[in-house]
Structure 1
Amino acid sequence: MASDEPTVRIGDVSQSTFAIGSHARAESHHGAPAPRDEAAEELLSAVRELRADLSRVRPGEETARLDEALAETEEEITRTGTAGAGRLQRLREVLTDTETVLTLFASAGAVAGLLGM
């Protein structure tokens, strides 16, 4: 049975905004960074600097674990504008555990200082 109605197919709609209907309204906020205070901005900058420094050393279990914690912290600050207490505590613990690797970098001292270590 043939229909005169058009066929509509919607593929991947991630990162998309659309509205359907005569009174529909679409509003998009994709890519808008979360507002950050000065302390979060400083921590984000220090985290990024330490990650860059880590890329210059031979990879190992300690550096991989630290890079993962730094990446998670960077993502959380970028997404929400801040890093939660649990995230900061985990980062403190990983920094303490990887202290022997970190003595090579001034950037590690900056991150540790911003975490109150």
Structure 2
Amino acid sequence: MASSDEQGSFRIGSISGSAVNFGQGGTAHNVNNYGSAAAADPAQAELLRAVRELRADLERLRPSEQTAALDAELAGAEDELASAEPVQESRLVRLREALTGAGPVLDLLASGAAVTTALAQLLGG
């Protein structure tokens, strides 16, 4: 039997997907990041970034029916893009149509070109 002055030893090879606590008063935290939006398709993440930038730029323009319609479609796309699920192709098509309908408004904004480019990557052309 070991005396109170002797300390035991142990070896840990590998731990994954778990939280471990050692010692008196120690705490362990385990955060599950599986299935989070951070794991989304890089092209989808790029489109999300571009959509947010375009929405911010639209706020700087004088409001019109055209900018309101585009912003509404961008808002819906942003919600869907921010989820952990793949974005629906129908959403991407509606977004492309809204960008086409906005026409001259987008010519003023570099962020509009970024959204168009990122959208083309996801739609394959």
Task: Report the TM-score when normalising by structure 2.
Answer: 0.64
Give the match for residue 41 of structure 2. Answer: 37
Structure 2, unaligned runs of 5 or more: 1-31
Residue pair 1:92, 1:115 contacting (<8 A) in 2 also? yes
- 2:56 is aligned with 1:47: no
**Cα drift, residue 37 of structure 1:** 1.5
Give the match for residue 17 of structure 2. Answer: none
Residue 79 (structure 2) aligned to one of 69, 72, 75: 75
Task: Report the TM-score when normalising by structure 1.
Answer: 0.68
Equivalenced residue count is 87
Mapped partners of 1:100, 1:90: distance in 2 = 18
- 2:96 is aligned with 1:92: yes
**Cα drift, residue 79 of structure 1:** 2.0
Secondary structure at the residue paired with 1:94? helix
Secondary structure at the residue paired with 1:80? coil
Mapped partners of 2:64, 2:81: distance in 1 = 26
Amino acid at match of 1:42: E
Per-residue CA deviations over 1:7-65 (Å, capped at 9, x if unaligned) read xxxxxxxxxxxxxxxxxxxxxx9xx8433121111000000000000000011111011
Percentage of identical aligned residues: 49
Per-residue CA deviations over 1:49-106 (Å, capped at 9, x if unaligned) read 0000000001111101100111101100112343210000000001001011111000
- 2:60 is aligned with 1:61: no
Structure 1, unaligned runs of 5 or more: 1-28
